[in-house]
């Protein structure tokens, strides 16, 4: 016979198919963290090319970024730049400035981020992005900077 102390928590009830364990009713949709994809596991996703150039790069038909510049192909996916310059590409936030729009209810403040990118081997890019949050603006500016990378 096992003794159970008075202050010991009772054994948890196994969760039914719906999500939350029995007795825990929170409103919402299903279990925890199954609503509209926000944040989470973006870093470990495999790149699925969306453009013809992206497919050629991933399959290895395009050997270097210089081939892309030589034939003036438009780079529409930042993963193409990551594929060639990935590790050596450095980014620096040059400026974050608040910009305001006057609305009937007052001002709406957004943040404009300006980011410079380069690999110290003759490739530079500049990205400018405006967003409600600073981190989102910086992330967007880095992506736009990668898309605007040119050889110098």
* Gap between the Cα atoms of 134 and 59, Å rounded: 36
Beta-carbon contacts of 49 under 8 Å, excluding residues fewer than 6 positions away, are 55, 57, 58, 77, 79
Edge-to-edge strand order for the sheet containing 150-151? 90-103, 106-118, 123-131, 150-151
* pLDDT attached to residue 27: 61
Spatial contact of 90 and 120, defined as CB atoms under 8 Å apart: yes
Spatial contact of 77 and 69, defined as CB atoms under 8 Å apart: no
* Gap between the Cα atoms of 69 and 75, Å rounded: 9
* pLDDT attached to residue 45: 80
Name the stretches of the chain with pLDDT < 70: 1-44
Distance of CA 107 to the CA centre of its chain: 28
């Amino acid at each position: 016979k096992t003794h159970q102390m008075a202050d010991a928590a009772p054994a948890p009830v196994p969760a039914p198919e719906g999500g939350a364990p029995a007795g825990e009713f929170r409103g919402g949709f299903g279990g925890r963290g199954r609503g509209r994809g926000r944040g989470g596991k973006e870093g470990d996703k495999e790149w699925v090319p969306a453009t013809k150039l992206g497919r050629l790069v991933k399959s290895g038909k395009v050997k270097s970024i210089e081939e892309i510049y030589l034939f003036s192909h438009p780079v529409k996916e930042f993963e193409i730049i990551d594929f060639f310059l990935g590790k050596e590409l450095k980014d620096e936030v040059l400026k974050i400035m608040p910009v305001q729009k006057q609305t009937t209810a007052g001002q709406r403040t957004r943040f404009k981020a300006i980011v410079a990118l380069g690999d110290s081997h003759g490739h530079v890019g500049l990205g400018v992005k405006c967003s409600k949050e600073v981190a989102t603006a910086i992330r967007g500016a880095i992506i736009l900077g990668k898309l605007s990378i040119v050889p110098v």
